[in-house]
Amino acid sequence: MPCATPDSPARIVLGVSGGIAAYKSVELLRLLRDEGFFVSPVLTPDATRFVGEVTFSALASEPVRNSLYGDRTTPIPHTFLGQHADVIVVAPATAHLIARYAAGLADDLLTATLLASRAPVLLCPAMHTEMWEQPSVQENLSTLRRRGVLVLEPDVGALAGGDVGAGRMREPKEIAELVKRLVSGFEGPLSGRRVLITAGGTREAIDPVRVISNRSSGRQGYALAEVARRLGATVTLVSSVNLSLALDVVRDVAVVQVQSASEMREEVLTRLADVDVVIMAAAVADFTLKASKEKLKKDQGPPTLHFEPTADIVLDLVAKRSAGQVIVGFAAETANIEQNALTKLRAKGVDLLVVNDVSAPNVGFEHPTNEVVILDREEHVQRVTLRSKEAVSYEILARVASLLSQGAS
């Protein structure tokens, strides 16, 4: 990706698709030019039904492009634009544009440019509330987020036709500010943050063959790691399980494999001073035992196992934390969910406690979905209804990002 210099301003591709909010893109173009950016407008054919090419050409750094087919100076416009862009921003991004981008279609210059670029992409959706809330639209956005696309979700406000609801494109000033941050290296609300996440159930050895463990699959921890990386964080995952085949490949995440609670404790505490956030999503064993050095034989009868409590990693983290660090605990419950959660929150001293009822249908261990309650230090309760563990991760990490911005602890 090209780098901007004082002699070579950042190049912004401004994509405009066919929605009524396209009129706001004129103001966005002006704001981007006021920042000194080189702005190349790319309008879809439908966009020109709402706004005129002449206006964009007059305000931009170069005339509007809208054809896949080039000329003598730029024979292949989509590769030229894609390769030279520092940031691509699409405002408005309609449901139709989002669907084509998610499907990998390249049937006009804008979608072809998006596919031909490794530059950061910012989508600014704008559509009626009913369209915004459609599962197909949200699934397409989830796909694009998973691929690293940044989505600036729409506001609630007045829409075309006199309706009011979610779907109003963010204001040009807010979009322009975010583009400035993207040019400077911003990747998401966790940009520049270092996040440590634990995943899976620990395994306590009985002998060289047998272990005592729990039902945790590690899926929620892996989903948190993937989403945290998409939001710009540098992520370390301390895990007792390997889910590379079960979940999306975790990109650019350092994975540290452990087995027992003591191994997990050592790895987490060793790294504590170097991170901004610790999320203890792992199901850590409450008890361990002294393992036999030899395999226990069946003909010797049932063994007598002597259990000892494991160290409480969360309490150790809270005791050793530095100012500004955010600590997130997890709790799996089967009864009296919120009351047990409040008791644990008060005992642990974490910034957030994420609790789920693992006895509920499609919730918790081994399921691709989850339903959680998030409690903060003021004992405010946020209920996150049943959804994918990826979507739950976004809810948790949004709270984490908010705490970091406030300088938690």
- Which residues are part of the catalytic machinery? 214
Q: What are phi and psi of 92, to 5 degrees?
A: -80, 155
Longest dimension (CA), the chain: 89
Q: How far apart are CA 331 and CA 344, in angstroms?
A: 8
Q: Assign residue 185 a region (left: φ > 0; alpha: ψ between -120 and 50; beta: otherwise).
A: left
Written as six digits, the tokens of 144 are 């694009």
The number of angstroms, rounded, from the C-alpha of 377 to the middle of its chain's C-alpha atoms is 23
> In Å, how far are 237, 287, 289, 290 from 305, measured between CA atoms?
31, 11, 7, 8
Q: How far apart are CA 134 and CA 125, in angstroms?
A: 13
Q: How far apart are CA 140 and CA 380, in angstroms?
A: 32
3-state class (DSSP) for residue 208: coil
Please list, residue by residue across 101-125, b when 16 or more beta carbons sit within 10 angstroms of its beta carbon and e when fewer do: bbeeebebbbbbbbebbebbbbbbb
Written as six digits, the tokens of 248 are 């999306």
Q: How far apart are CA 354 and CA 352, in angstroms?
A: 7
Q: How far apart are CA 310 and CA 312, in angstroms?
A: 6
> In Å, how far are 179, 197, 214, 222, 386 from 371, measured between CA atoms?
34, 19, 19, 16, 4
Radius of gyration for the chain, computed over Cα atoms and rounded to the nearest angstrom: 25
